[in-house]
Structure 1
Amino acid sequence: MSATIWFTPWKPGPAGEPASGGSADGEAVVSVTEFTPHRPWTAPGVTVAGIALRQVWQDLEGAVGLWLWADPHPLRPRSGSVSVWRAERDLYAFVARKDHGRIMRSYRDRGSMRSTTWRTEHFDRDATEEAARSLLSGRSAWPA
C-alpha cells in the first residue's frame, strides 16, 4: 500500500446541515469502500464516476457527509469513499440508486471491491476520518 492517500474535502449532505435539523452530531452509519482495479488505466474512469456521484450528494436523503479518497500508487492505484449516513436505510437507498448501480455494473469485472460499515453513537468527523485512514493505510485490519 502506498503511504499517500488523498482525501477530497468533506462534503456535507442534507442530514449533516445543522440548520436542517440533521444528525450531524448524533448517531450515524459510516461506510468505507475500496476499489482496486486489475489494470492501472481503469483508475481514472472510476475516479470520474465517483466525482459524478459526489455532485448529487446534497440531494441524497439521509446523507450526513462524504469524502472520496485515492491512493495514487502508479502500479496499484486504489480509490473509494468514506460516506456517513443518518441510518442504514439511507445507505441502502443510495446503493439501490440507478446511477450507482450502473457504475457498479460497469466496473465489477475490472477490479476488486471491499467495504465495511459501522455504527457510531456520536458522529465525530475527525475520529471517523482517522479511523478510515487507519483502515485504508493498513494500520488497522479490514473486518473479516
Structure 2
Amino acid sequence: MTALPVVGGVMLRSRWTPGSAAGATGSALVSVTDFRISRLRDLPGVYRAGLTLGRAWPDLPGAVGMWLWTEPLRGRCGSVSIWQDEQALREFVAWPDHVAIVRRYRGRGRLRSTTWTTTQPDPDVWAQARSYLSGADTQAS
C-alpha cells in the first residue's frame, strides 16, 4: 500500500494490478467507485472483500488494470479500474462473486461512481480518478 496525503487523513492505495488485457491498446473504460461506510466497524470487512476480488483480477476477461484505495479514518474505500470496454465492466458487475459482496454490504453506506473513456489506459489515469475522489471533478455517471 502507498500512503497518499489527503485533507483530514491519509489515503492508502494498492499497487497497480495488471489484468488479463493489460497489453490492450486503443480506447478503454475507466471506472471509479467510492463507497462511504455508515459505520466504521464495517470498513475492514468491505475492504477485505475488495482484496478478495482483487486476487481474481489478473484472470478477469477485459480487465486492463486496477488499484484499490481506502481512507480508513474517513470510512471510505473503493477502486479505480480500467476495462477494455463497457461490456467487460458489465460482466464484472454481474459476476456472482461481485454480486454477493454488493448484496452483503448493501445498505451499509453510500456508493458514488463514475466512468469515462480514455485513450491512455495506463497508471496515469490515477490523477484523474483522484480528482473525482477529492470532489474536484464533478463528472459523474
TM-score, length-scaled by structure 1 = 0.87
1:139 corresponds to: 136
> RMSD across aligned C-alpha pairs, in angstroms?
1.5
2:4 corresponds to: none
Q: In the alignment, which of 18, 21, 39 is matched to residue 15 of structure 1?
A: 21
Shift of 1:92: 0.3
Q: Could you say what secondary structure the match of 2:33 adopts?
A: strand
Q: How many residues align?
A: 135
1:122 corresponds to: 120
Matches for 1:1-144 after TM superposition, within 5 Å: 2-16=8-22, 18=23, 23=24, 25-73=25-73, 76-126=74-124, 128-143=125-140
Q: Could you say what secondary structure the match of 1:143 adopts?
A: coil
Shift of 1:132: 0.8
Q: Which runs of 5+ in 1 are unaligned?
A: none
Deviations 1:60-105 (A, max 9, x none): 00000010000121xx310000000001000000000000000000
Tell me if the contact between 1:2 and 1:71 (Cα under 8 Å) persists in the aligned partners. no
TM-score, length-scaled by structure 2 = 0.89
Structure with more strand by fraction = 2
Measured at CA, do residues 60 and 10 of structure 1 come closer, stay the same or move farther in structure 2, by a change above 3 Å? same
Tell me if the contact between 1:53 and 1:100 (Cα under 8 Å) persists in the aligned partners. yes
